[in-house]
Structure 1
Amino acid sequence: MSGLATTPSVLDNPIWYALQTGNRDMASGSGQAQYIRRDAGAFAGMPHNSVAELEQLQGMIAEGEVVVLFTTGHLTIPAGWRIQLNRDLLQMAHTGPLQPLSSSGLIQSLTELHIPEMLALTALTKPGPFLQRTIDFGNYEGIFENGKLVAMTGQRLQPDPYTEVSAVCTHPEALGKGYAGLLLQSQVRQIKTAGRIPFLHVYPENTRAVALYQRMGFALRREMRVYVLERI
């Protein structure tokens, strides 16, 4: 597949490097195994995603809780974990020019008052894990119709100098109106204006989203894997 990365990058291990840099204020754990504050996300990061590091992480996570890992390949999972998900993932980075923002008046900043609606929309559309305090990653924006949140996106992992665009979702009744593209334009503009590089993750079978991201200036960087592991 064209566009795959051939040189190492912090994006090969985005969760680990985010916990060391842009999201370190949300990190818990020790030197070789760390995780995002549990009310904000299930992400965990390790330097090498090795068996020894996974065993160390195991001692930090309560039985029945899950962690999400982004990796560049298959992992050897030690005893004490149950694999809930092991799935292909595409990582895309923004390489295009900064596009003019149209109809910016539709976009509203989302606050704690909007958390119930954000949880409902992400539960319906399933863009990825979204918890009670995921909003603390920052810069979430939405579009409303008749007072109802129908589209949103925001920023999540921040492995310097990159910022991840996340939770891109639209209510099924509001599809086809260009809301996702408009919100993406806004996020890309904010990130690039701050001197950072936007990136995102998407399942390869979500061809509609992949096509949208390509139109918005994102290009495939590399194939990844996402694991969801339950502590048993």
Structure 2
Amino acid sequence: MRTFKKNAGFTLIELMIVVAIIAIIASVAIPRLMAARLSANESAAISTLRSLTSAQAQVQSSGAIDTDGDGSGEYGGFAELAGTIPCRVTNAGVAAAGVAGTDELNPPVLSAAFGNVANSQVTRSGYVFQMYLPDAARDLVAEDAAGGYAATFPDPDNGEVLWCCYAWPVNFSQTGNRVFFVNQAGDIYQYNNKGTNNYTGSAGGPAPDAIFQTAQDMGSPVCNVAGAVLGTDGENWVPVQ
């Protein structure tokens, strides 16, 4: 008489136990992984703003951009700093009448990846970055949609002393939480993004003058929490420690 061995395998109860264990492990691990990712993206955004501060100082001190021909350098936009478009040049020294140049910055002071400007913004590591330079009234001028300033030239005199940049999450709570800001002073500020305003996505960033005490004036002081002076967006922006 021929006998057959019963095929070994898992019972339904055993499989259910395994699935339950995996679910428990995932419920603990996934939030931790998400938190680690958010922290890494926020740290990368802060690091980028610090690098940007150094890059702007280098370009301004070199005089690589000098649209009024007075010998004092001006700050640049992302595409100019990354060397993906020609830097602005002087128009025979006529004040406030610079023109688009023909030469890119060489060597560039930022990675070429920062030259990938879309909708006047650069997206890196889960964060949207937007740069502003001043006009003659110190209002904030964004880069053209694809980078550069052919549409609206910044003021050369104010452009020698003022610039700023914001960074906010591509997707709040998934790619980052906090919003960051830096300007020519080199101090980085943050907003926890949990107040009245929630900044997220390319179309949902802060207004250009959000952190400043005076509307449409990037030469005005930034908000002063210690002095109970908020930004024009009504939020608390505090220095990154």
TMscore range, shorter length: under 0.3
TM-score by length of 1: 0.25
Per chain length, whose mean CA-contact separation is higher, i.e. which structure has more relative contact order (CA < 8 Å, sep 6+)? 1
Instruction: Identify the structure with the greater helix proportion.
Output: 1
Return the index of the structure with the highest Cα Rg.
Answer: 2
Q: Per residue, is there more strand in 1 or in 2?
A: 1
